[in-house]
Structure 1
């Protein structure tokens, strides 16, 4: 449950809201549409000096259309939540935001020299690969 709370925190969902009381409630919240603020929050945490990073997550034209309604689609929200989940574990493993960013934005041999952040954005399978590497780092096995 701690990991769930951490992901909700990264997404900017207040802890007191009933929506984060269970994994299914958080899934429903994401499927119904995360706010654009969640995208901005995750972008600022992962790439604070890069105003264009958010367009790697949601293309510029799509984001412009989403601003009218203020919410992301289920697929876009899932992508943002995936990044929040990976960020939470990277921060836990590396202990500082700078070190976590260093890992996420540097090519990794176990990902065929792709940057972990790009692999996470690309697909859920990519996120699982990155989470696996972070888990091995956290628990002291080869990564």
Structure 2
């Protein structure tokens, strides 16, 4: 999976070459800027999309802490939030690879899919870790010409 780590790290705006450094970055707390970058890429017209990754009140508190230079550590995502964000970033970069454009990738991510029993890929991915390989499997079949 090293091939996926580099585009994911670039999307997150962090320096990590490979899955283990990416895991460490997530465990140590991704910066809020990583959240902003992914949200701008995946759902630029949805002002509430970030709240699917971080609760509204928590995000507001972290943004306030980030603006206050005397507060340390409040401007990073928790490991759980970072994992959710990295999971989304991984599937998003795979969708971009398959579809070739943000518009087409967005259409795939946000439209119900028959192989997901009418659920949207973005919802399946964000729900829990088990959804990621299911959506990546669909993307893999699309990329390599299998039936989907």
Q: TM-score, normalization: structure 1?
A: 0.92
**Equivalent in the alignment of 2:95:** 90
- The structural deviation recorded for 1:55 is 0.8
Q: Secondary structure at the match of 2:60?
A: helix
Q: In the aligned structure 1, how far is the partner of 2:36 from the partner of 2:46?
A: 11
**Separation of aligned partners in 2, 1:31 and 1:22:** 15
Q: Is 1:57 equivalent to 2:53 in the alignment?
A: yes
The match for 1:119 is 124
Q: Structure 1: 5+ residue runs without aligned partners? A: none
> Does 1:2 find its partner at 2:34?
no
Q: Is the 8 A contact 2:6 2:18 kept in 1?
A: no
Larger radius of gyration: 2
Q: Spell out, residue by residue over 1:21-71, the C-alpha distance to the aligned partner (whole angstroms, 9 max, x if none).
A: 332111011111001111111111011111111111212012123332110
RMSD: 1.1
Alpha-carbon offset, residue 90 of structure 1: 0.1
Instruction: Write the deviation string for residues 94-125 of structure 1: whole angstroms up to 9, x where unpaired.
Output: 00000000000000111111110011110111
Alpha-carbon distance, 1:129 to partner: 0.7
Contact residue 9 and residue 17 of structure 2 kept, 8 A: no
Q: What is the match of residue 12 of structure 2?
A: 11
1:133 matched to 2:131? The reply is no
Aligned to 1:104: 109
Aligned length: 138
